[in-house]
Chain A
Amino acid sequence: ILNVEQSPQSLHVQEGDSTNFTCSFPSSNFYALHWYRWETAKSPEALFVMTLNGDEKKKGRISATLNTKEGYSYLYIKGSQPEDSATYLCALGYNFNKFYFGSGTKLNVKP
């Protein structure tokens, strides 16, 4: 079992604050990293897929970077809004038939 670590476990910010959190993973035999957003009572929603070292992806106010050599990815949210409140999961593909999730960062944005 591979250890995918996300930090912090939870985060409380005020509306308008920018924030970021981390996904750390073993870098050997890396295939792809996915970020998902999981709102309570809904299905996880794919945000980004990144495969190459140095990849940067952006979707609106959310962006992500990837460093496969040192084994980490950052997810950034600029100007957080209450609707950004969710659990953000990272998931790593190593062997093509297995997929390892972190335990998530739970974000709460206060109006």
Chain B
Amino acid sequence: EIVLTQSPATLSLSPGERATLSCRASQSVSSYLAWYQQKPGQAPRLLIYDASNRATGIPARFSGSGSGTDFTLTISSLEPEDFAVYYCQQRSNWPRGTFGQGTKVEIK
């Protein structure tokens, strides 16, 4: 089973700051990685697919990078609505797929 490890578990930042979230895979997942945002009481929302492609309607401040085992989600300048939990998911063994444990971005 491919394990995804996200770090840090919690990121405390202020609005306007840059957020850098990491997702590391236990073995190569090529570029078959997505990022999701989840706010309390809401369903997840797709942000990034294929490691670096923004989903429809996602602001340009969100960007994804990486391939193989190391991936990064960057939020260039945090808006108040960006404080949430972020999950990565790999699909290299599609149709199955595993999620990371999540990174919470909280207001400092």
Q: Tell me if chain B binds chain A.
A: no
Show the binding face of A for B, using Cβ within 8 Å.
none
Interface residues of B (CB under 8 A from A): none
